[in-house]
Structure 1
Amino acid sequence: MSSSYHKGQVYEYVSNDPSVVAGLQPRPQPQHSRTQRLGLVRIVLLSLGTVVIVAVAAFLGFLWWGAIASVNEGDRPNSHILRRILGPGWLLRFITISSLVYRVVAGAQAAAATEMIASLFLEGNGCLLPDLARLSLTHCQTAGPFQLACAAPRQLYDSANLFTSGLLTALLIASVATQFTSTILLTDFSAARLINDSAALNVAFGFKYPSNEDAKSSTNLFNPYAGVDYWTSRPSAYLRFAEASAPPVQGDGIYDTGATARAFLPFTNSTQRVALRRYEGPATVIDARVVCIRPRLSIHAINLTDVYMLSLSGSISVRGGYEGLDTSYSDPSSFACMVDVGKVSDRPLQQRMSLCPMDSTAAFIQGGVRPDLSSYTKAYLLINATSGFENWRDNGLGGTEPVTILESERTSQSQGTWESFNLKGAPDIGIDATLCFANPIPWNYQISAASSQDGFEPTLQWNITTGTYRSNAVRSLLGSTLAPIPSLERGLLKLASPANWSTADASTAFGTPDTINYIWTALRSQRYNVSLSLSQRENGDDLPLLVPHRAHIGLFQEILAHTDSNAALAMQALFFTLLQMSYSDYTAEFDVSAKASANFSQDVVIPVQWRGFIIFCAIAGIHIALVTTITVTFFLRTRVTALGNAWQAVGQVAEVTGGETVYRAAGMTDKQMKAYLFTVEREENSPAVEAQGSDEGPPSKRQRGFIARQKKTRCDEDFPCGLSTRNEASLGMIVNILRRIEGKIDDSKLDSNPTENHRSIAAALRPFNPRSPANSSEVLGVPSFLRQETIDSPAAPTDPNPAISFSAHQVLFWPAIQSALPESVKLMCQMQGATYSTRLEASRSKLPHSPSVDVSSDWLSKLSIATLKQLSDVYFTTFNLANPILDQKTYFQRTLGVAIDGNFGICIESCIVLVVMALGSMGQKALQEAGFAGTPASSPYAGQDAEMPGLDFFNEARKRFGFLMCEQDLQACQFYLLSGLFYAEALRPIDWWAMLSKASACSAYFWNSLSRDRDEWMLDMQSRLFWITSMFEAVLSQELNLPPSNSLHLEEHIALPKFISAQDIASFGSFRYPGDDPFFHYHFLSQLAHRLILTRARNSLFHFNPTADYPPEPVEDELIRQLEQWRERLPPMLQFNPKSPLTQAESPSDALVTAWLHARYFVARYHIGRPLLHRALERPASLTEGHLRKCRDAISAVLAWASVIQVTDTMRSCNPLKFFVCSQ
């Protein structure tokens, strides 16, 4: 007996006899070689494409290696190719092209692998019939694995297809990752500095030596000495230079900075000097070496002049010999110097230094850049007066007779390079002196200098607090530190020092005319060899000494202060700065130039790490492994499929489904065809299509249900291959309809069950996810998670008990509380009813007018500007921190000035200022209560109320505002809110509510009539006022059951404030008002979010219907979760741990901002747990362990609140919420 079956698309005839059985001729099996099955094009694509992918990865690796090596080494790439790629900006282009080539090749290989996967489905374990056509066409030609993304999961009805589907899934993931290779590679990129190729330059470096024969020489065309006085000029910056230095030498009585050659960089552009990495060419080099020794000093005469100076004369000589100094010709040298002693009260305290150039030198510096020019060594006597003018005068030094100074205890008092003398009987009054030598003769040489990093050119920065310069960067650049720092670490270029500088003369090396440098004139002042004062004092034409620019003095004093009075380092920095200024000044006039070569660093974007490249290689490796695995599997599991053959694919579909099905499919869509195949009648019930021994030939309709699997089982009901018959289809439709009806019945039952519905209620609470204040500009209205106004509690059976009110005042009406109240309180509750607090407040008398203030209010004109400023500052330090009603900058620079200029007439500015004065008086009292301010001066007017300070100011404001009551603008709204704060502090909540209603009307008027010409600051201020009004309204209406305004519907349309500064008011530098601190801005937005959470708790947990059923637990849990999220997502500066005790306030912001944030958190915990406390008091038998735990948490919150509120109570007179302190 013969049998036939379909395995995939291959129709096979299986028989026990190899001969023809029952007249059915077996179809010959196609025999294709592997080359034919895969196709020549695909073989080339798979093999050559893999080579291309490896080549791309290798090329990118070469680029990464070169770029990272260049960054790490701080030098230019060794490879010329790398320099060409990285330098001119070709790197990004090459990477883009490389990743594009990779994506194209990988995409083509993925398409070929997809064709093989389709063949595996067809020839493997079969597929669903509706997917037959797609899979057949896919193994002919495809665009990629995404074409099978929807069909592959349906083939998992057979676990044997799991491996093939896994290959397809992995190929899909690899193909998706391939699309992001460029982005992945770019993650390794960052900005870096790269050295470019050497550039040939023509640089000017000096003046042509003046000659009578050359009339065109620049030195013959201008006077280089005209207007030269760099002592009294300020350096624009301290320029970068090249340096070759030896370690300093320090001995007994001597400090030698060491041989130091410094070359000026011949570039006028600061960017070029900073980015210079290598330079070879001409440059001016000076010997910056300075040697200071302790001299032998003889004082002949000393007088005190009337301009705070000493007239000092004497002789000086060198003690013995010193290494590095030639003292063989040393003879005592006389000197006559003026020494600046200043005054005892001079600030800031500095050393009273004076520099006295010597007419002759007592020694010559040996060695250095030009040993042959040592005769040009110059000596300088540096003198420090140890006390001020008054002390010198008080010790008898003030007449015309010379006074002899005694050399007392010279050994013990002299130290380092300083020789110390003092007056007889006055050990603290005297002078310190040191003798310094320098020979900074400039000369032009051929130099070579290099650096491994970019440099910098700092400037002196003024410290307004200390009254001194910030000189760290400058001192580091100039090497003025006790611990020597290598030149490269200071951002300088390392200068190559030749064995003999004279052989590197520029005129010889470059064949240029002889040059002359005039920069040595920088060390000359306008008055030859005059003494110089190196301490801060005023200059004058009649002074017998010169006062240099304060920048020179400041740097000199800073170096002395940070180097233990090291005169050599200070003198070296001073002289080099002056010479550098001179060189920079003369650069534009240089007329001798020569060729030079230089390398500069440049900003480039290159790879700086390997992570992205490694991920790229991993993706490429996975892709190659996947394609290889799919190819091997294709050869092992398929026999007849030849990829790329279109007619074979069409013929196999027609063979399996039959010509009738193919003919019918010509006029259908895929969706219609799928429905047709799943509903047509099947001729056989067997899941395996067996060929009966007949002459029917290949089956056609037999495979319409699905292509048979080798398993002899029917399709599972949960994964139907299709409904086999029309009767089965009708039955399935009926079953589905019944299931839908059953589901609706279950849903209706679920809605009627409040217990089961708790879960849906909890789900209705949207998660707490507030926006940060930095992004508040994108939020229209309140955060989306808080826009849901009410979470309806489920219906509950009628309960005769009264409703649980959100108002904390209503706790008095709880039966358990009533039983513990005194009889007088019970009587009050019975007489006034549930709204007792509102009734009692409404019956209070209004605020009185102070009888001591006359009608003309002359006392206002007597107020000083200082008083107005002081009370205004107090207001902004207290009330405005948590409730920023006013913009501090606008108030001080506009509002206050208008009120004062108008003599507090009838204008809105006067009203605002007067209310601010009233609140400032209250704030001053609060500061005194907390110990933050002393007792203020006596008030300039009578009638100051000790219990209600500021009442007179407030009454004056009300009197003036009576003429302005129809105003609706921004300032009117601010006036109402400020007046509301005053009423709140006066414990008059009803009057406060009246002011809020008017402020709300002003705000609604603005937002409902909004025009496009409003500036951003106005919109932001109006937003600020709206949300302040909204928060305070919520407190009053929820606690006292007062009617809210009609502007609440605007909440979803008004953005949160961004605290923009007014642009039309000038700012004074970088000055910022205290209220501009983002800390207070974040706090305001945080308390706004907290208020919205409390409103949600009120609407969700408390109700005013006749029933008093308790809210479901999921609602309470969700509100607690949202409150915790609010606390956890506070900005870092506002974060707090509720378990940590709050310390006493150290500033007003601690009591008015930080402490209130803690208090609000615990109040919210109490409100959310209050219904459960009511339940514990009224129905204790219904409590569970979970209820008891939550009650404990609520009581713990109350106890924690009690400790926190003590901190806020330290400023009791600045607490607008004191009436609601235990409820809001």
Structure 2
Amino acid sequence: MSSSYHKGQVYEYVSNDPSVIGGVQPRPQPQYSRTQRLGLVRILLLSLGTVVIVAVATFLGFVWWGAIDSVNEGDRPNSQILRRILGPGWLLRFITISSLLYRVVAGAQAAVATEMIASLFLEGNGCLLPDLARLSLTRCQTAGPFQLAFAAPRQLYDSANIFTSGLLACLLIASVVTQFTSTILLTDLSAARFINDPTVRNVTFGFKYPSREDTESSTNIFNPYAGVDYWTSRPSAYLRFAEASAPPFQGDGVYDTGAIARAFLPFTNSTQRVTLRRYDGPATVIDARVICVRPRLSIRAINLTDLSMLSLSGSVSMSGGYDGLDTSYSTPSSFACIVDVGKVGDIPLQQRISLCPMDSTSAFIQGGVRPDLSSYTKAYLLINATSGFENWRDNGVGGIKPVAILEKDRTQSQKTWQSFALNGAPDTGIDATLCFANPIPWNYRISATSSQDGFEPTLQWNITTGTYRSNAVRSLLGSTLAPIPSLERGLLKLASPANWSAVDASAVFNTPDTINYVWTALRTGSYNVSLSLSQRENGDDLPLLVPHRAHVGLFQEILAHTDSNAAVKANCMQQVRYAPTEASQKFLHVLQPEFAIPPRTTLQFLYNTDNPSWQTEKKAALPSRRTAQMKALLQRDKEASLPDRNEASLGMIVNILRRIEGKIDDSKPHDSHPTEHRSIAAALRPFNPRSPANSSEVLGVPSFLRHETIDSPAAPTDPNPAISFSAHQVLFWPAIQSSLPESVKLMCQMQGGTYSTRLEASRPKLPHAASVDISSDWLSKLSIATLKQLSDVYFTTFNLANPILDQKTYFQRTLGVAIDGNFGICIESCIVLAVMALGSMGQKALQEAGFAGTPASSPYVGQDAEMPGLDFFNEARKRFGFLMCEQDLQACQFYLLSGLFYAEALRPIDWWAMLSKASACSAYFWNNLSRDRDEWMLDMQSRLFWITSMFEAVLSQELNLPPSNSLHLEEHIALPKFISAQDIASFGSFRYPGDDPFFHYHFLSQLAHRLILTRARNSLFHFNPTADYPPEPVEDELIRQLEQWRERLPPMLQFDPKSPLTQAESPSDALVTAWLHARYFVARYHIGRPLLHRALERPASLTEGHLRKCRDAISAVLAWASVIQVTDTMRSCNPLKFFVCSQ
């Protein structure tokens, strides 16, 4: 044995016993049992400690997995123990206590294990002599494994101790982890929600009905709702309620919403209302049922007031009986109503509807919440004026001679409406419907449940359009085209008792009677005082009540978003239906703190608590589809956007461009010589629409930058001339003029700043064919294959970037009509021939880029070889001469198609003429919206309007051409959604290439880019001979918004401006992707042009930062040159080729 090692199990001793032979013999080693070796305390610590650790782990596992299972909003913990832990918030306490108990027991067991490891070192393979004392003491008594942390490594000189040292290392790690048990567990907690157990508590729900005999009553008022005016105040929010409803019914001349009971929760706290899952207690219930019928209206007198209003008087009666209405006591009722007819040019466009309460009712609603109180039914006459004040006046109303207003033919009266028109003026008249409602607010004991959270949306104000956004509010109230169940709208499901009278709150809870006068808040002060449900100014002298614009805005939003065959009828009933709903919500909420009757109520809420998040994604159930949609509606109302996938994404592109005031208004340039409006600009002010061509106010440019600009050179007397936005007029910059040869200067002086417009106007017209025979034989010889081929080429080229036509409608309707009529005189023939002309140009473009083989040709040669498609275009022009007064959708499409042909022929003046006609067609449609319009028609007209708007912006900004006066409608026309025609059959899952959202996104990306260029034109292009220009904050903000436009493009349109553009592999690469790339550099150049102007005029005023921006602008031009080469591969399909260097 080495002297440096001590082996405890081998030792020597000297014996003094003479009987021992040899003097030395080993002492017999005592034998101990395992129990004696460990000791009773250690055995109990190891065994009972293990039981405690297992129990703690089991409890934590139960809590962890049970809590994870309860994270779904619709679930609740199955275990009563778990509910008691999570409900009062005991989870953190139990985790802390469990962790503490685990650490204490695990620490004690670690101490015992340390003693065992020390024994293994001593009595196993031996230890170093210096560590003998430490190991011996550790074997007897220790506080933990850390005492051996330094001694154990030295024992590794003997390889036999490796295993023992490994055990010690594991023990050390376990001991360290044990100290952080609570930290590790608490780190995994996250916010979660669960449903607690039902609780019972007092909930106050009403005013005590005053009694003269009750001298101790604290109620000293008879009607606490007196003086409360619902109509003239805005609801702060639309509160959650419980609803029980039956399906609506529609018959001949009648529309019944069905039985609808709505109960309002007596909670002032919004969180309680939203998270409530079960309620069993008192609540105010109203009957929201509305029945509208076609009345028998007899008009005795009609006159005009001087306030754009129509005064009507007469009588109304009902003919026949209707299910749900008791007409046994029906007698004619007289009425005298004021109808708000507005003006012809009112903006925004809206329905001119007024609500006229009747002083008596000719029928009573049967059934409902309280059949015994049907005598309280109220009747309302809803009157819609079909034309403005001017048309009524021009047709003699209000004059000396009486004017006859006649009932229209019964076939012209839609559903529940009775229609009248002036004699000789069929478009000027009224529509009327008679509606009945009997809300009867009363307090009952109700039972309501829900499986998900509710919503309490508010009307969001849109600063840009000056209107309310009501998507979420309309969904909450059920004012949607398709019925939505109450639970999916975030409401509670109300259990309808067989007899509501039996659950009267006063009888059930044995409480005093309560006041039920909420309905009086809806009255207008006196009977026969009409309400205007269209937007107009209010005034004390008005003979009718003008509600708060929130009510009017919501009503008009319902009209605009719930089109159906019933048209205005169903929407008017929505106004009557949700008026008591809003009023009851509002006043019960306001007066809740004053309620004094507190019965016992059973409640069940969804609570927020801390919850283990491990594997939550695997265990948590997804919210219902409708819940997700409601949340999306709330978010959309807060950010401003639209119902479907395209609108949401494209709204992101456009809406980020709707802010510029913040940074610009804080940095107004201090100019001692502000720009004066020139007389010509003032004269043209009425003709400067708020469009992409002239939209500084719409797009948010602050007032100090809203200067009118004229693209011609300013007069010499103007001290602060505008810098022309037209790239053609850079030639007239003073610094450029000084560098030109004298001969060029002389030409500039002779031609003037509008030289490009003058030269274009003096060009000869397009050549036409020698024959003027309309029935040209060569068209009849065209094969179907040729027509199909050229049509496909058009939709593969021109229609990608400018979706003028709906491909599905064209191939399944328009083309067939033209072929069947042998290309006769009809608008379909004109459209198809224009498509053939553009298809011929597109065929040439595909051949230029190497995407197609031999182009299709017509049997007639003529001028076709010189200008592809001219033969087709001439034939279209011949036929359209007989259709030049058409103003419908297809006429607008033909004008835009013709404009594209002129653009490709490098004839911008002719293009502008076509755009002006298309703009007139578009304005005609939007100013004369019909009731029977369908969603596809609205979407197509929106598409054509924005195409016209963008192209007019290019022409009016670059050339001296005035924009049309119809684009003032821009802020009222939504972006297109690219809806497919519903009345045309689809073939399975077949999709036309133009239906790809890729091209839809590209179209609106172009629109967003045009808005940025217009901002730059209206806010930067102003010259100041003394002060600094352009304003740097404006310039920086525009660059920032341009970068946002690029960064927030949909993923399929994203591009890196620093990466070189590769050669186009398909037509879309050249016509879509490359053009967005080029537009980015064009905008960078235009934003930097005013600073380049300053650099040439006053170079000494530039700083290092200015020079860097000038360098960026010039770099953008150089980068644009390489990008435009890709688009130039299809030169024959580039409508902007005349403006390619400027727009």
Normalised-by-shorter TM-score class: 0.5 to 0.7
Q: Look up the match of 1:478.
A: 477
| CA positional deviation for 1:300 | 4.4
Letter paired with 1:572: R
Q: Do the aligned partners of 1:188 and 1:610 also contact (CA within 8 Å) in 2?
A: no
Q: Deviations over 1:468-513 (max 9, x none)?
A: 2121222233222233333333333333321111111222222233
Shift of 1:577: 1.3
How many Å apart are 1:383 and its aligned residue? Answer: 1.6
Structure-1 separation of matches of 2:609 and 2:187: 15
Alpha-carbon spacing, 1:100–1:215, altered in 2? closer, same or farther (3 Å) = closer
Equivalence for 2:1118: 1206
* Structure 2 SS opposite 1:85: helix
Contact 1:560 1:570 in 2 (8 A): no
* Superposition map of 1:874-889 within 5 A: none
Give the Cα separation in 1 of the matches to 2:1042 and 2:551.
44
Task: Return the alpha-carbon distance in structure 2 between the equivalents of residues 613 and 891 of structure 1.
Answer: 49
CA distance in 1, matches of 2:136, 2:175: 22
Question: Matched residue of 1:106: which SS?
Answer: helix
- Corresponding residue of 2:510: 511
- What secondary structure sits across from 2:72 in the alignment? helix
1:55-90 residue CA offsets vs partner (Å, 9 max, x unmatched)? 111222333355345443646656554444333333
Distance 2:1061 2:179 in 1: 51
Counterpart of 1:234? 234
Which position in structure 2 is the counterpart of 1:447?
A: 446
- Counterpart pick for 1:606 among 592, 608, 611: 611
| DSSP 3-state at the match of 2:63 | helix
- The 1:169–1:588 alpha-carbon spacing in structure 2 relative to 1, beyond 3 Å, is closer
Contact 2:4–2:129 under 8 Å retained in 1: no
Instruction: Quote the residue 2:98 is aligned against.
Output: 98
Give the Cα separation in 1 of the matches to 2:92 and 2:499.
48
Q: CA offset at residue 535 of structure 1?
A: 0.5
The 5 A counterparts of 1:654-665 are none
Q: State how far apart, in whole Å, the 2-side matches of 1:429 and 1:589 are.
A: 51
Equivalences for 1:832-981 in 2 at 5 Å? Answer: 893=666, 896-897=669-670, 937=714, 940-941=718-719, 946=733
In the TM superposition, 1:353-502 aligns within 5 A as 353-411=353-411, 413-423=412-422, 426-502=425-501
Equivalent position SS for 2:361: coil
Task: Map 1:272-311 to 2 at 5 A.
Answer: 272-311=272-311
* Residues 70 and 318 of structure 1, relative CA distance in 2, 3 Å threshold: farther
Does residue 1146 of the first structure (1) align with residue 1058 of the second (2)?
Answer: no
Deviation by residue 1:802-859 (Cα, 9 ceiling, x = unmatched)? xxxxxxxxxxxxxxxxxxxxxxxxxxxxxxxxxxxxxxxxxxxxxxxxxxxxxxxxxx
Residue 62 (str. 1) matches residue 62 (str. 2): yes
CA 1:191–1:404 in structure 2 vs 1: closer, same or farther (change >3 Å)? Answer: same
C-alpha spacing 1:133/1:588, structure 2 compared with 1 (3 Å): closer
Q: In 1, are the aligned partners of 2:357 and 2:527 still within 8 Å (CA)?
A: no
CA shift digits 1:382-408 (9 cap, x unpaired):
122222222333344442444333444
The answer to whether 1:578 aligns with 2:512 is no
Secondary structure of the residue that 1:515 maps to in structure 2? coil
Query: 1:544 is matched by which residue type in structure 2?
Result: P
How far 1:128 sits from its partner (Å)? 5.5
Q: Which amino acid aligns with 1:292?
A: C
Amino acid across the alignment from 1:246:
A
2:783 aligns to what? none
Cα offset for 1:369? 0.7
Counterpart amino acid of 1:1146? Y
Sort the Cα spacing of 1:228 and 1:366 in 2 relative to 1 into closer, same or farther, 3 A.
same
1:88 aligns with 2:88: yes
Evaluate the alpha carbon distance shift between residue 435 and residue 131 of structure 1 in structure 2; reply closer, same or farther with a 3 A threshold: farther
Over 3 Å counting, the alpha-carbon distance change for 1:207 and 1:115 in structure 2 is closer
Name the SS for the 1:348 alignment partner: coil
CA contact (8 A) 1:282 1:596 kept: yes
1:787 paired residue number: none
Deviations 1:956-982 (A, max 9, x none): xxxxxxxxxxxxxxxxxxxxxxxxxxx
| Greater relative contact order, per chain length (Cα 8 Å cut-off, separation 6+) | 1
Question: CA distance change for structure 1 residues 395 and 128 in 2, over 3 Å: closer, same or farther?
Answer: farther
Q: Deviations over 1:903-961 (max 9, x none)?
A: xxxxxxxxxxxxxxxxxxxxxxxxxxxxx99678567349999466999xxxxxxxxxx
Q: Quick one: distance in 2 between partners of 1:104 and 1:1209?
A: 76
Q: Does 1:550 align with 2:549?
A: yes
Which residue is 2:525 aligned to? 526
Contact 1:301 1:312 in 2 (8 A): yes
Q: Deviations over 1:878-906 (max 9, x none)?
A: xxxxxxxxx998996578459789xxxxx
Tell me the amino acid that sits aligned with residue 100 of structure 2.
L
Q: CA deviation at 1:519?
A: 1.3
From the superposition, tell whether residues 276 and 9 of structure 1 become closer, same or farther in structure 2 (CA, over 3 Å).
same
Give the TM-score, by structure 2 length.
0.53
Stretches of structure 1 that go unaligned for 5 or more consecutive residues are 615-886, 902-931, 952-1071, 1084-1131, 1155-1200, 1212-1224
CA separation in 1, counterparts of 2:578 and 2:245? 14
Corresponding residue SS for 2:497: coil
Instruction: Decide whether the 8 Å contact of 1:889 with 1:1073 is kept in 2.
Output: no
Tell me the alpha carbon deviations over residues 975-1012 of structure 1, each in whole angstroms, 9 at most, x when there is no partner.
xxxxxxxxxxxxxxxxxxxxxxxxxxxxxxxxxxxxxx
What CA RMSD, in Å, does the superposition of the two structures yield over aligned residues?
A: 4.7
> What is the DSSP-based 3-state SS (H/G/I as helix, E as strand, rest coil) of the residue aligned with 1:11?
coil
The structure with the larger Rg is: 1
Aligned twin of 2:922: none
Residue 10 of structure 1 aligns with which residue? 9
3-state SS of paired residue (2:235): coil
* Amino acid in structure 2 at the alignment position of 1:472: N
Residue 538 of structure 2 is matched in structure 1 by: 539
**Native 8 Å contact 1:3 1:13 kept in 2:** no
Shift of 1:340: 1.0
- Distance verdict in 2 for CA 1:150–1:419, change over 3 Å: farther
8 A Cα contact 1:408 1:421, kept in partner: yes
Q: 1:138/1:4 Cα in 2 relative to 1: closer, same or farther (>3 Å)?
A: closer
CA distance in 2, matches of 1:5, 1:224: 101
Q: Contact (CA 8 Å) 2:277, 2:606: kept in 1 or not?
A: yes
Q: Describe the superposition over 1:451-470 as per-residue Cα deviations: whole angstroms up to 9, x where unpaired.
A: 44444433211112232212
Moved more, 150-159 or 288-297: 150-159
Three-state SS of the structure 1 residue aligned to 2:242 is: strand
Q: Which runs of 5+ in 2 are unaligned?
A: 14-18, 620-659, 675-708, 724-731, 739-1032, 1045-1052, 1063-1073, 1089-1112, 1124-1143
| 1:343 pairs with 2:343 | yes
Question: Which residue does the alignment assign to 1:724?
Answer: none
Amino acid aligned to 1:577: E
The answer to whether the 8 Å contact 1:241/1:263 transfers is: yes
CA shift for structure 1 position 440 = 0.5
Structure 1: how far apart are the matches of 2:130 and 2:92?
A: 47
Given the superposition, is the C-alpha separation of residues 299 and 29 from structure 1 closer, same or farther in structure 2, using an over 3 Å criterion? same
Query: Which region of structure 1 is more displaced relative to structure 2, 185-194 or 500-509?
Result: 185-194
Measured after TM superposition, the shift of residue 517 of structure 1 is 1.6
Number of residue pairs matched by the alignment = 691
1:572 deviates by 0.9
Aligned to 2:175: 175
| One-letter amino acid matched to 1:596 | T
**Segment drifting more, 336-345 vs 393-402:** 393-402
